[in-house]
């Protein structure tokens, strides 16, 4: 099985860049499954029905999220609709809508997709992603061998530790959240694909997707501002492509896919 996993899509420019690049990647690489992190697709914070439909039309099959999953009420309502191929962090506190993992059918193969949120340096209070992963793996049917984990962490050490902790028990541990792609894509010793952060799909001339001016001003005077998202210009699309043995769930390859396009 060949899987393309796309880093955090940020705003309209990210959605439009994906619509240009993804069809080309699908024609070239012929993936069986395309997954994207969509917690920032609606002007950088949260998601809406129309923005989800836009990226689904571009060719995305399944959606993961992160710490901004509930930031828009319209998007929050979608998590109660089980027909959406959409999950939120499994270790989020309280009795909240949605699920933190799902098992989907990809051809004749069952694939589990799990969403986790880190604890270090995060503004949200959630339970241990390590313990949450253990609980989910115990609940999964033994027949499910292909298991993908999207981990949103602020600290690279937390993500790396989780990668080694999960190695041999899942097919891939893929980091999102920082919007800065890392160069450590590799197969861990127990046949688990790993990367600390895939990166983002959004404006190149930005601070993790936002207009630089407002971010710089806040660093200078510490005053709160609404940060704006560029809507035109050069955009990047960051992703990884993973190859997994269906029967055993073992990853055999992982590589970065990176593209740039002017919107």
In angstroms, rounded to a whole number, what is the distance separating the alpha carbons of residues 186 and 159? Answer: 14
Predicted pLDDT at 229? 95
Q: Where are the beta strands (DSSP E) in 118-250?
A: 146-152, 172-176, 186-187, 193-195, 200-203, 234-244
- The catalytic residue among 29, 43, 68, 179 is 68
pTM score, whole prediction: 0.96
Half-sphere exposure of 122 (CA within 13 A, CB side): 25
- pLDDT for 249 equals 97
Q: How many CB atoms lie within 10 A of CB 4?
A: 22
Per-residue pLDDT tens listing for the chain (263 residues): 999 999 999 999 999 999 999 999 999 999 999 999 999 999 999 999 999 999 999 999 999 999 999 999 889 999 999 899 999 999 999 999 999 999 999 999 999 999 999 999 988 889 999 999 999 999 999 999 999 999 999 999 999 999 999 999 999 999 999 999 999 999 998 999 999 999 999 999 999 999 999 999 999 999 999 889 999 999 999 999 999 999 999 999 999 999 999 99
Q: Is 29 a catalytic residue?
A: no
Residue 92 confidence (pLDDT): 96
Short-list 162, 158, 169, 202, CA closest to 21? 202
Q: Where are the domains of the chain?
A: 2-262
**Domain 2-262 grouped into CATH 3.40.718.10:** no
């Amino acid at each position: 099985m060949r899987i393309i996993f796309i880093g955090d899509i940020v705003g309209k420019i990210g959605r439009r860049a994906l619509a240009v690049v993804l069809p080309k990647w699908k024609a070239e690489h012929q993936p069986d499954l395309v997954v994207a992190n969509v917690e920032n697709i609606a002007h950088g914070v949260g998601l809406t029905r129309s923005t989800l439909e836009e990226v689904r039309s571009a060719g995305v099959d399944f959606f993961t999220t992160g710490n901004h999953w509930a930031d828009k009420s319209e998007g929050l309502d979608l998590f109660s609709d089980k027909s959406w191929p959409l999950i939120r962090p499994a270790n989020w506190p309280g009795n909240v809508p949605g699920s933190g993992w799902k098992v989907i059918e990809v051809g004749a193969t069952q694939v589990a997709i799990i969403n986790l949120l880190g604890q270090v340096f995060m503004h949200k209070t959630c339970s241990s992603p390590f313990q949450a992963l253990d609980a989910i793996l115990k609940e999964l049917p033994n027949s499910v061998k292909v298991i993908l984990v999207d981990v949103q962490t602020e600290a690279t050490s937390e993500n790396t530790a989780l990668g080694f902790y999960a190695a041999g028990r899942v097919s891939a541990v893929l980091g999102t959240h920082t919007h800065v792609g890392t160069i450590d894509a590799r197969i861990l010793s127990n046949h688990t694909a790993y990367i600390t952060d895939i990166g983002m799909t959004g404006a190149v001339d930005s601070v993790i997707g936002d207009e630089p001016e407002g971010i710089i001003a806040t660093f200078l005077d510490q005053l709160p501002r609404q940060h704006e998202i560029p809507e035109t210009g050069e955009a990047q699309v960051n992703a990884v492509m993973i190859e997994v043995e269906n029967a055993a769930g073992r990853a055999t390859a992982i590589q970065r896919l990176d593209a740039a396009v002017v919107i």
